[in-house]
Structure 1
Amino acid sequence: MYTYMVRTVRADEWASVKALRLLALRDPAAPIAFLETYEVAAERPDAFWQERAAGAAEGASGVRQFIAEAEEGQWAGTATMLVEEAGTVDWAGFPVELRQGHVVGVYVRDEWRGRGVIRALLDAAVDWARELGLERVRLIVHEENLRAQGAYRKAGFIPSGRTVPLGPGVEEAEYEFVLDSAGASDR
Structure 2
Amino acid sequence: MYHIRQLQENELPLYKSMRLEALRLESSMFRRPHAEEAALPDATWLERLTHPGAVFGLFENDTIIGITGVRLLDGQVGYLGQSYIRKEYRGRGLSAMLYQARIAWAKKMQLKQLQVGHRENNLVSKAAIQRYGFTYSHREPSNWPDGSTEDVLYYVLDL
* Interval containing the TM-score (normalised by the shorter chain): 0.7 to 0.9
Matches within 5 A, 1:70-149: 70-71=60-61, 73-85=62-74, 99-149=76-126
Query: Partners of 1:74 and 1:158 in 2: how far apart?
Result: 33
Provide Cα deviations, 1:83-107, integer angstroms capped at 9, x if missing partner. Answer: 1227xxxxxxxxxxxx211001111
Larger Rg: 1
5+ residue gaps, structure 2: none
- 1:26 is paired with a residue whose SS is helix
| Maintained 8 Å contact 1:22/1:42 | yes
- 1:6 equivalenced with 2:4 (yes/no): yes
Q: CA deviation at 1:169?
A: 5.6
Provide Cα deviations, 1:41-74, integer angstroms capped at 9, x if missing partner. Answer: 2222333333433x1xxxxx33100111111x11
5+ residue gaps, structure 1: 56-60, 87-98, 180-187
Q: CA deviation at 1:134?
A: 1.4
Change in CA separation of 1:114 and 1:45 when aligned onto 2, cut-off 3 Å: same
Q: Which has the higher contact order (CA 8 A, sep 6+)?
A: 2
Residue number in structure 2 paired with 1:176: 156
Normalising by structure 2, we get a TM-score of 0.87
- 1:106 is paired with a residue whose SS is strand
Structure number with the higher strand fraction is 2
Query: Which one of the candidate residues 20, 23, 42 is aligned to 2:21?
Result: 23
Equivalent residue pairs, number? 155
